[in-house]
Amino acid sequence: MAMAAVAANPSATAEDPEPHREAVPGLESQRRQIENGESGRERPLRAGESWFLVEQHWYRQWEVYVQGGEQDSSTFPGCINNAKLFEDQINWCLKKGLVEGEDYVLLPSAAWHFLVGWYGLEQGQPPIERKVVELRGTRKVEVYPVELLLVPHRDMGTPHSAQFSQIDSIDLVLRTAREKFLVRPEKETRLWVKNSQGSFERLCNTRVTVLDAALKSGQLVVMETRSKDGTWPSAQPQAGNKASKEDEDFQGQPGICGLTNLGNTCFMNSALQCLSNVPQLTEYFLKNRYLEELNFCNPLGMKGEIAEAYADLVKQAWSGHHRSIVPQVFKTKVGHFASQFLGYQQHDSQELLSFLLDGLHEDLNRVKKKEYVELCDAAGRPDHEVAQEAWQNHKRRNDSVIVDTFHGLFKSTLVCPDCGNVSVTFDPFCYLSVPLPVSHKRVMEVFFVSMDPRRKPEQHRLVVPKKGKISDLCVALAKHTGVSPERMMVADVFSHRFYKIYQLEESLSSILDRDDIFIYEVSGRSAICENSREDVVLPIYLRERTPARDYNNSYYGLMLFGHPLLVSVPRDRLSWDSLYHILLYRLSRYVTRPSSDDEDDGDEKDMAAKDSIPKPGHVAGGSSQNPGPEQAGPSSGVAGGSRAPVNNSPGPSHWPQRARRKHLFTLQTVNSNGTSDRSNFNEDTHAQPYIAIDWEPEMKKRYYNEVEAEGYVKHDCVGYVLKKAPVRLRECIELFTTMETLEKENPWFCPSCKQHQLATKKLDLWKLPETLIIHLKRFSYTRFSREKLDTLVEFPIRDLDFSEFVKPQNESAPELYKYDLIAVSNHYGGLRDGHYTTFACNKDSGQWHYFDDNSVSPVTENQIESKAAYVLFYQRQDVARRAKPQPDLSDPPAPPACGQPPNSEFMDVN
């Protein structure tokens, strides 16, 4: 209760004490009632009760009077007169520094009223009422309350003084300010206090006391009123005042409001638009019911800040005064409490939605102090009894508008494969993450390089098992080319070099869709037997010498170009001259042979440095992602395989010297990166060298046809499109509720066996929420791959029936299982570059709109279903009917929204 400035309120004064004078008891009786007993001044203080100040001189005169025993004595004190306690008789402010026992005495409420009834109060004087407060375990009468200066935000030049007890709540300060400044009941207000540094701080929690808020006398308290466009005046930058005025003049359909993309924040905009179009949640915020339930002391919450930031967005979007708004404050709050959303990287709308629902729940949790609840197993009890107990336990710790709107209940059944023990538990959920039926096939694009130099590389589109091996890829290609899988080698080509040469037993999951996979035809003459002819498979790179950077023939002056080759060379032709002619033959499609006039003697010096080559061992391979030392290890493609030449092959002494003839190119042994001359290093002579074909710029220009070298043809299979059959949402839900066996990484501890077991698990839906969120698990992540499933999921706009999935069913209330769609979060594009948008049904008009950041456009229902659908929001039909507003004929028709309907074939991406 406000301690008015000892109230300059005439109604609180004694106008004429005589007419209201009560029957006066005897003097001794008066003394006993005032001094002793329950009503007397000697009684103990009780927190919260009122006591009154009486001027010391008057009280001492009264004591002399009653002790004298004569009612007609000249010591009669007259009316109570507290004039000496006041600074003046206009504002009736109490003097500073008054001391109890010297300047005044304190009387309890009953004693005060007795004295006023018997003697009256001096004309025009207000009673000096003060409260008993308990501070740090000590009770005392608060003679000097906290005097605050209240001002409205719109006019901070004329403060109004008001006094409050330290035990008064901030809510009382707010109500007092609203009364003083004549704020209408429907208007929303909040308080700011000016601190000692001169800056303003929000008084967020209105349930704390003046003492807890550390308010001191003389502090300035500002009351701010929310504008009709949903914004707070203090949140508007000065430069934006003009735009804000224009927005206030704009009048559109509430809820039809875009959100500005702050930089890769379309995921956040999509989640917010979906949540904003959940009718019962939006009404909860628009009608300010959240103000009574803000939980500022929840250690799991965000001190009410997320709930307040979301409320600000909802009020602006549904004010009807904005075409679009900038969610910068909300973005900052989210990043503050969830560091994964800091910055401006692209994120998942479902992940943001999960964080936001949890944050709103904890900020609005009606349970202020969570009790410990022990989870109980069914232990043979009936399901309905265990389910009811689980839900009640959940509500004992979690009770908010989010629980009321979005939470349901699972039934989880685990069965031990050894002892048959059955464990039944009931767990709450906020949304369903349902899997999509996944194809076990995968489409891969590869390039086939034939041994026939006349044939261009062929692009093939192959269908292979998703969990297959490299050998499966070769088998699939063999069906198109007629070349035996035994005569194929698979390599990943990156930046003109071999990134990796694969073994046949390696998994296809290690190959990403973006990798450039080349499959080379090699010789099949590789059987290991007596007197067999074996071929050596040599990796070949193409390099061009750059004259401007030619430093003593070092690798700095050479640049890789073109596609590398895997070339089979007969063991009996392992000489430089033979290799030159073999390579000239393999390159003959795009390298022109020189005429005899072009050939002349070569440079003696050039030949002298090229006389030796390390002994051929295995085909070099492995990964070249670490371009460090030029060590060329055994091939990861055919190490230990039948295609690799054995180590007893001819050594360098068996390689004849190259002819001293001018060649089109020179040959050089290099490392697996193709960037180092191996002859400059001391390395393992058993390792198979990579061979580089080095071109002089002039020779390359004359004899090398770059256009022809880059040419390739498309096999007929490339034109085939593997059509994906659409799936129904019902199939996804069935898959979600299908029994499964736990994985090795996530076993269950059986209380009966006392061991971890790979139990069978089945989920059933037991209790469905008012608003059901269904997350389609389109993104798949494995150790080697990440992919997005762009399967079309067919989902109903109306009458989604869950009756067959819920156990038990309430046949008397079928509407409890039927849902209508109200919003969809869409994701277009792939994993690394994507864009989120929203379809949502306006709760007031029933019209569907498409929200693409700050652009909003009307759509028809047949445009909603697409491959981009990612998160679905369904509302239970009984809730929709209950919450449906009655049409108001006085409302003006909503203006048409701007923009065009979305085109699902061409969507912008960030």
Q: How far apart are CA 335 and CA 343, in angstroms?
A: 8
> Cα(795)–Cα(727) distance, rounded to whole angstroms?
9
Between CA 687 and CA 498 the distance in angstroms is: 16
How far, in whole angstroms, is CA 182 from its chain's centroid? 42
Quick check: is 835 catalytic? yes
Q: Is the dihedral of CA 105, 107, 111, 114 positive or negative?
A: positive
- The encoded tokens of residue 220 equal 């300035």
Contacts for 239 with CB less than 8 Å, ≥ 6 apart: none
Number of neighbours of residue 543 by Cβ within 10 angstroms: 24
H or E element, residue 892:
none
Beta strands 771-777 and 160-164 are: unpaired
Alpha-carbon gap, residue 89 to 83, rounded angstroms:
8
Cα–Cα dist 846/862, whole Å = 15
Tokens of 805: 């999935």
Q: Do 648 and 636 contact (CB within 8 A), yes or no? A: no
Q: How far is CA 810 from CA 405, 408, 768, 806, 807, in A?
A: 20, 16, 12, 9, 9
| Beta-ladder partners of 670 | 677, 690
User: 160-164 and 146-152: which strand pairing?
Assistant: antiparallel
Cβ atoms of residues 77 and 62 within 8 Å: yes
How many angstroms separate the CA atoms of 632 and 15, rounded?
110
Q: Which of 296, 298, 294 has the alpha carbon at shortest distance from 284?
A: 294
Residue 460 among the catalytic residues: no
* Three-state DSSP class for residue 44: coil
CA distance 829 to 852: 14
**Structure tokens, 893:** 């028709």
- Which of 266, 274, 474, 732 is catalytic? The answer is 266
User: 862: part of which helix (H) or strand (E)?
Assistant: none
Which residue pairs from 887-895 have beta carbons closer than 8 angstroms and sit at least 24 positions apart in sequence?
A: 894/252, 894/253, 894/256, 894/845, 894/847, 895/251, 895/252, 895/253
Q: How far is CA 720 from CA 445, 446, 511, 716, 905, in A?
A: 12, 14, 22, 7, 20
DSSP-derived letter for residue 702 is H
SS3 annotation, 729-778: HHHHHHHHCCCEECCCCCCEEECCCCEEECCEEEEEEEECCCEEEEEEEC
CA dist 870 and 836 (Å) reads 9
Q: What one-letter code names the amino acid at 73?
A: S
In the set 460, 835, 841, 849, the catalytic residue is 835
Identify whether the C-beta of residue 170 lies closer than 8 Å to the C-beta of residue 205. Answer: yes
Buried b (16+ CB within 10 A) or exposed e, 147-179: bbbbbbbeeeeeeeebbbbbbbbbbbbbebbbe
CA distances from 792 to 271, 438, 725 (A): 21, 12, 8
Q: Which residues are designated catalytic?
A: 266, 835
